[in-house]
Amino acid sequence: MTDQFKAQIRKAKSSDCASMLVLIRELANFEQAPEEVTVSLDHFKESGFGEKPVWWAFVAFVTDEVGKEILIGFALYYIRYSTWKGQRMYLEDIFVTEEWRGRNIGTMLMSALIVEAKQMQLKGMSWQVLNWNEPAIQFYKKYGASLDDGWINVSINV
């Protein structure tokens, strides 16, 4: 792809799920954990577009010469509840494919998230970043994000 294709942002549609999973696998490779992606396409699609969706997303795309949209990034979020702050947006993942980094697409996605959080009257936005991902940390600092190294991530499989 070249710069002749202009990136655009829109809310994700059910038909984007397969392409989003390709990007999620690319993200997992970048994060050195490709084996961790175990979600099926059916489960992913149902979780975002079924009767009771638990996630929402924005996608970044370009349109090729024949009018086909090609996903080049996404930002997937859900609503969490903080007993201290109230409802907040939790940014699960924001990702731009390597070929398209450095072209303000991450900024476009973050802007869409911020507008969405304000429209939903949420009390803020939170997310995690790997401590070695310096480009992402610098990107988040441009938004005045505070990084808290006092918490430890905890999870269990059930």
**8-141: CATH architecture:** 3-Layer(aba) Sandwich (3.40)
pLDDT band at 21 (very low <50, low <70, confident <90, very high): very high
Q: Give the pLDDT of residue 1.
A: 47
Active site residues: 140
Interval 62-83: pLDDT, tens = 999 999 999 999 999 999 999 9
Interval 32-72: pLDDT, tens = 999 999 999 999 999 999 999 999 999 999 999 999 999 99
Q: Give the pLDDT of residue 156.
A: 81
- SS3 of the chain: CCCCCCCEEEECCHHHHHHHHHHHHHHHHHCCCHHHCCCCHHHHHHHHHCCCCCCEEEEEEEECCCCCEEEEEEEEEEEEEECCCEEEEEEEEEEECHHHCCCCHHHHHHHHHHHHHHHCCCCCEEECCCCCCHHHHHHHHCCCCCCCCCCCCCCCCC
Q: Give the pLDDT of residue 39.
A: 98
Q: Give the pLDDT of residue 3.
A: 52
What are the boundaries of each domain within the chain? 8-141
Interval 93-150: pLDDT, tens = 999 999 999 999 999 999 999 999 999 999 999 999 998 999 999 999 999 998 888 8
